[in-house]
Structure 1
Amino acid sequence: MTPTLYKSAMEKLLSSWSSAAIYLPENYVFPVQSRPGDATVPFCNTLPMIDLNTAFAGGRQDAVQQVLEACQDFGVFQVINHGVDEDLVIDTMRVVKEFFDMPNEDKANVYSEDPNKKCRLYTSTYDYENEKVHLWRDNLRHHCHPIDEFLHLWPQKPARYGDVVKKYSLQVGDLSSRILELICEGLGLGPTYFGDGLTGVQLFSANHYPPCPNPNLALGLPKHCDANLITFLLQDDISGLQLYRNGEWLGIEPIPNAFVVILGHQAQVISNGKLTSPEHRAVTNSTDHRTSIVYSINPKPDSIIEPAKALINDSNPPLYRAFQFKEFLKTYEVKKDYNEGALEDFKIKA
């Protein structure tokens, strides 16, 4: 790493300077209308919790129905007894925290300001230099499908990182296939509808949120809908993930060994609006480091996204036009509207 890039990493990465911050820097203060404020946010006590063992005990159709209803009503749910090894879940969270706890020199070796790199550590977002307000987070992100094509690009430290995260990625990838099959069945689509074209880009993303001097003014992630197909999010034991529902913010309680499953915009389009992509955000706190691990399922850039033809008829006309996923991503980033407005350019006007 060049001295210039090392200096840039140390100046920007929160994990290199935030512990000494007494006040929140002005370029981390969000506008009044979007900052969290000091209001107490309760946990969402109606968020669906799906126990896959119990669901399948009643027959596959029971599992299909539970997942479909959660995707229609909330667009997000928690899943337990999901088949991903519990010790592996714990160890993956541990090794990710070990990564962020490494000396600055080691983290700087992974740091990059090139958004096209297949593995990089950065702070805030891909567009740090042009942001009006920075996010209070560092992020490690890398590709992981097909896994052996990208494994050599992953962090070399901690030494066991590659072995642990490879096992985790394979198991969560299998879980995503099973959940997507249940969604397909619920929608009346063929079990292989979400094939490689719609799931061929899979990303491992670890968010690190250090203690923040003034969490009422900052955000780890702003209100947004996911641009992908579906997300599998693992929380540690510190709360910070919040869902926007019926005009209010509600916390999503961290539950040991549970995944938070979140539908993205592409699932909403493919289902022709039958499923919903929920708005959510990440808030900070003043005392604890918080870590979340995201496994993101994305279409390949050239894949065509459109309402499934099996769902279209005279009484259910298509709500969205066909488009390539890369077109959506370009619009998503250029407009910088990360909520429902991201789909406006793709809606069929009456």
Structure 2
Amino acid sequence: MKFAENSNQAADYLRRAIPLMVRYNIPPNPLNYALWYTYVSDRMPELNSVLDKTVNTYGTCPVMVSEQLFREHMIKDELESAKDIQSNLISLMNDLHDHAHETAKRTCDYSEVLQDSLSALSDGEYSELPLESIIQNLALNTEAISATTRQFQTRIDEAQAEIATLKAELQRTRQDARVDPLTGLFNRRVFDSELQQLISSPDSVNTTIVLLDIDFFKNFNDQYGHLMGDKVLQYVGKLLKENSAEPILSVRFGGEEFAILLPGSTLEDGARLAESLRDKIQAIRIKLKKSGEVISSITASFGVTQYRSRESADDFVGRADSALYLAKSQGRNQVQCADESTPAI
């Protein structure tokens, strides 16, 4: 996206953007400056609408949302290539250049042949070449230039397909660092980043965490194998994704443990979601192809807690972990909520 303001207008936009970023606790990085500079300039109403809804929901604009909005609204027409993808694009362009050069050379040669043939035809009976020879020479060169043009067009078609593949690869590369490949959920890195920003906002007390851990998962892997264990993780990931409408964020926390971040939600909201997921997980049935055995022993334990004012992120997660430990110690397949007296692990 290009900015065409003069220095006075640009300075005015920046003076208006900075107080908004301070008010909503937006980190002062170049990406956010660009977003909020664009916001106060009113040049992109759709972006303004999304930012308004975001701060109304979160009390801020979380890092993950900021990055997504920047990609979708600020640089959607630009291709930011990683080194290997950029190298592939350069190679592709060089290849097309070589094909274009060869096609141009053959076109030039054909032009000379055509000119010579026209000259011979205009000489008529004084030409040293018989008419049949002139026509045959034209036909051969016409076929040659047609073949060259077809080859070039084919290479262009192939190049378009390669570019589409490279774009898809670029998108996948951008996601890899943030997404767990097995479940398709965001990973711990995204969770930590979002949590840190949420608890720094004025509305942080309305943030709830749900931690869940699949019961006896090691025993399950030992009995049925890691492939079946992966299948269970995928089922649970799918359930979390289906029950995590925005602004809820579900992530794979690590191993068989998952976390759900609920901005603008109470402890009761988190407990209701946890109980619903607990019920759906224990309803999972997996039929083994070889033996026909139906596995119906999959359950999960849950720990839920709501943020305390001025609490650190580690203490916040630690209290949820304490509630999860309590659920495990009291028989598993249950939801436990951390109260004011619950210490962080």
TM-score for both structures, normalised by structure 2: 0.26
Structure whose CA Rg is larger: 2
**Higher strand proportion, which one?**
1
**Higher helix proportion, which one?**
2
Larger RCO (CA under 8 A, 6+ residues apart): 1
